[in-house]
Every structure is written in C-alpha cells, then in structure tokens.
C-alpha cells in the first residue's frame, strides 16, 4: 500500500516540495522557495540562474520538509517530480534529485505533468472527488487552455491561446507600465483598487476573438492596446490604474464568453480554474456568479495552490501511483514541451 509520496516541483522559478499521504492523512507537509528576488533585477526568469538555485535549495528544503512532517526518509514510499513542461534545466534538477534519492532508498518514481497537477490541485484539501467529465480552464504564465477532463490522465484540449498566455499578458502589460516583475498579481491589485470614476478613462478594451465559434483565444492584441493607451496617456498612477482595470475586465469577459462555449460544447456543469491566474480575485468572483447563474459550479484551488507548488505534484503523483503508474526504472527524461492531451 502506498503511504507517503514526496512531490518535487522545479519547472520554473519555484522550488516546491510536499508529502501527500492519501486519505485521511492528506497533505502532511509542504515547503516552497520562490526565486522572485533572484530574477527581479533581470525583469524575468533567467533559466540558468533558476536551475542553479534549484540545486542549492533541494536538499535544504527536503530537510525542513521532513522536520515539519515529523517523518524520516525511510517513511517515503515513492517520489513524484515534475517531468514537464517547463524550463529544461530547471526540470532536470528536480528529476535528477528525485531519481537519485529514489535509487538510494530503493523506491519508485513518477514524472508528473505540470499542467495536469495544476488542474488536480482544485481537489486538494476538499473531501469530495470531482465527477468527470468537467471542463478545466488552465491559465498560467505559459499556458491558457480549455480542457475537457474525462478522468485521470484523460484530457481533450478544446481551445488554446494563439499567442500570449493570460498570465504572460498580465506580466507583459505590467512590465510596460514599469511595474516590477512579476507584475501580473500587482496589475490585478491595481485593477481591483481602481475607483469607479477612473474606470472608463480609456474606454472599453477589445474582447478578442469572442465572435469566433470556438474556444481559441488571443491576448497579444489586448496587450498592445493597453500599451497604446499608456503611451498616449500622461502615465500617472491614475492612468495605470485605469488601464489595469480595463485590461482585467477585458480578459475576464473574454474568458467568460469562451467558458459558455466550452460548457455548451461538452454539456458539463462543473468548471475548474487552475494555474497562477486562478488566484485572480476578479476572475474568481465573476466566474462564481456566472456558474451559479448557469446552475453549475466552479472550483478553484486554494490561492496558494494556484501558483506553482510541490503539493500539487505530490497529489497528482499519488493518484497516478495508486493506479499503478510508475517510471520505467532509472531512465531520465524531462520534456520542455509536453501537450496535455498526451499525458499518460
């Protein structure tokens, strides 16, 4: 029987680890180190620095994780790690660490799909299991997709972004207005605090591709529109706030229009919103109202499990291992690109 699974996340700029023990133990402990301070001076993630920092943190984090969990290494029965998609060097650090540790403990490993883990994180900490099929909206810094979830490992992509991911559009719009990296959440906070008299200062931003009868999306034009408004403005704090507000409204409206399409197409009543942008307060509130009005329900991971973390990797790994899926020995493979539709 599977007891404690160690999960390791190192696909980008967070080193995360957690131990998941199935029910009723649940999530036993979790640790997270964010590299924001390291990359801030460069205005974005520097892949080589990210890898080096993961290497520095992994052992230290594992020690503190075990101490928090009051467990020792011999209690760990299997190790799950992020296999992809992500930065290849960063992925390799976590994969090598997982494989070496597992070899020394004579236990199995499993490479987990990062995007699948984001989606499954909506079930972390809640007692019920979400019945399939349901629709998932995955909105992170690197991906924006509508997915029909038909079971563990069974995903059909309904729509994708043709250019920027939603989180990327948030980050780039923030950056061009001088808001320091990572600007997405700061831009959202500006939008949320925008007083009513300022909201219409730059008119209504476009809702890209909502007339198209599919679930594909495009956000780079919206970002350019925000830039044009900013360049024409006096670039005051009020201007930034008004642009942030109009931008966020356009993003959320666009996603709502596509949600209706994805739910109609699949005849699903349940929606999961996962990935870093799932932490957005406006999006959470508007989607809750929208799903209630449709007689359905929306599920979000807890705020701290929206952005990258080790808990979602331990949780996803645990479920696949329960189903008997493990890595093939010590073979080491990571995938910088890995479409979700092909997850094991």
B/e letters for 71-100, b = 16+ CB within 10 Å, e = fewer, are beeeebbbbbbbbbbbbebbbbbbbbbbbe
- Shortest CB 106 distance to ligand KG4, Å: 32
CA–CA separation, 293 and 256 (whole Å): 12
Q: Which of 76, 252, 268, 277 binds ligand KG4 (CB under 6 A)?
A: 277
Q: Which of 14, 164, 308, 327 binds Zn ion (CB under 5 A)?
A: 308
Strand, coil or helix: 11:
coil
- Shortest CB 309 distance to Zn ion, Å: 9
Subset of residues 299 to 328 that bind ligand KG4, contact rule: CB under 6 A: 307-308
For ligand KG4, the closer CB: 29 or 279: 279
- Shortest CB 158 distance to ligand KG4, Å: 19
For ligand KG4, the closer CB: 159 or 275: 275
Tokens 């919103």 — which residue?
273
Determine if 116 is a binding residue for Zn ion (CB under 5 A). Answer: no
- Shortest CB 282 distance to ligand KG4, Å: 8
113 pairs with which residues across the strands?
84
CA–CA separation, 170 and 186 (whole Å): 9
Question: Which residues have a Cβ under 8 Å from the Cβ of 78 and sit 6 or more positions away?
Answer: 2, 5, 6, 102, 107, 108, 109, 110, 317, 321, 326
Q: How many residues bind Zn ion (CB under 5 A)?
A: 2
Strand, coil or helix: 8:
strand
For Zn ion, the closer CB: 87 or 209: 87
Subset of residues 127 to 146 that bind ligand KG4, contact rule: CB under 6 A: 140-142
C-alpha distances out from residue 188 to 214, 235, 261, 265, 268, Å: 27, 18, 25, 30, 29
| Interaction partner, residue 301 (ligand KG4, Zn ion, none; CB < 5-8 Å by kind) | none
For Zn ion, the closer CB: 86 or 159: 86
C-alpha distances out from residue 18 to 126, 127, 232, 269, Å: 17, 19, 48, 31
| Interaction partner, residue 171 (Zn ion, ligand KG4, none; CB < 5-8 Å by kind) | ligand KG4
- Binding piece for ligand KG4, criterion CB under 6 A, among 102-110, 234-242, 270-278, 330-338: 270-278
For Zn ion, the closer CB: 144 or 241: 144
273 phi and psi, to 5 degrees?
-115, 120
Subset of residues 168 to 187 that bind ligand KG4, contact rule: CB under 6 A: 168, 170-171, 182, 184-185
Q: CA triplet 54, 88, 33: central angle to 5 degrees?
A: 25
Q: How many residues bind ligand KG4 (CB under 6 A)?
A: 19
Cα 187 versus chain centre, distance: 18
Determine if 140 is a binding residue for Zn ion (CB under 5 A). Answer: yes
| Interaction partner, residue 170 (ligand KG4, Zn ion, none; CB < 5-8 Å by kind) | ligand KG4
In SS3 terms, 49-96 reads as: HHHHHHHHHHHHHHHHHHHHHCCCHHHEEEEEEEEECCCHHHHHHHHH
Determine if 94 is a binding residue for ligand KG4 (CB under 6 A). Answer: no
- Shortest CB 55 distance to ligand KG4, Å: 20
Residues in touch with ligand KG4 (CB under 6 A)? 12, 140-142, 167-168, 170-171, 182, 184-185, 188, 275-277, 279-280, 307-308
Residues in touch with Zn ion (CB under 5 A)? 140, 308
């Amino acid at each position: 029987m599977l007891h404690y699974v160690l999960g390791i996340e190192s696909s980008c700029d967070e080193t995360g680890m957690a131990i998941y023990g199935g029910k009723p133990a649940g999530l036993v402990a979790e640790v997270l180190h964010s590299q924001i301070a390291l990359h801030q001076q460069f205005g974005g993630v520097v892949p080589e620095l990210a890898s080096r920092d993961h290497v520095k943190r992994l052992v230290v984090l594992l020690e503190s994780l075990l101490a928090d969990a009051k467990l020792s290494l011999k209690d760990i029965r299997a190790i799950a790690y992020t296999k992809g998609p992500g930065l290849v060097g960063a992925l390799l650090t976590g994969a090598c660490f997982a494989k070496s540790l597992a070899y020394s403990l004579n236990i199995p490993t499993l490479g987990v799909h990062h995007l699948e883990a984001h989606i499954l994180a909506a079930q972390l900490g809640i007692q019920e299991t979400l019945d399939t099929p349901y629709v998932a909206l995955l909105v992170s810094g690197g991906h924006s997709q509508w997915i029909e979830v038909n079971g563990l490992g069974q995903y059909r992509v309904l729509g994708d972004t043709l250019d920027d991911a939603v989180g990327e559009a948030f980050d780039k719009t923030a950056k061009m207005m001088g808001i320091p990296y990572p600007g997405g959440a700061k831009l959202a906070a500006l939008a949320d605090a925008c007083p009513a008299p300022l909201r219409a200062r730059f008119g209504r931003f476009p809702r890209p591709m909502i007339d198209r009868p599919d679930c594909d999306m495009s956000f780079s034009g919206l970002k350019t529109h925000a830039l044009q408004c900013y360049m024409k403005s006096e670039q005051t704090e009020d201007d930034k706030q008004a642009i942030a507000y109009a931008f966020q409204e356009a993003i959320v409206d666009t996603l709502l229009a596509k949600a209706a399409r994805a739910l109609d197409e699949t005849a699903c009543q349940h929606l999961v919103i996962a990935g870093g942008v799932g932490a957005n307060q406006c999006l959470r509130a508007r989607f809750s109202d929208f799903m209630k009005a449709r007689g359905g329900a929306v599920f979000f991971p807890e705020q701290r499990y929206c952005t990258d973390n080790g808990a979602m990797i331990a949780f996803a790994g645990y479920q696949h291992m329960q189903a008997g899926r493990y890595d093939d020995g010590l073979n080491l493979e990571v995938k910088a690109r890995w479409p979700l539709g092909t997850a094991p």
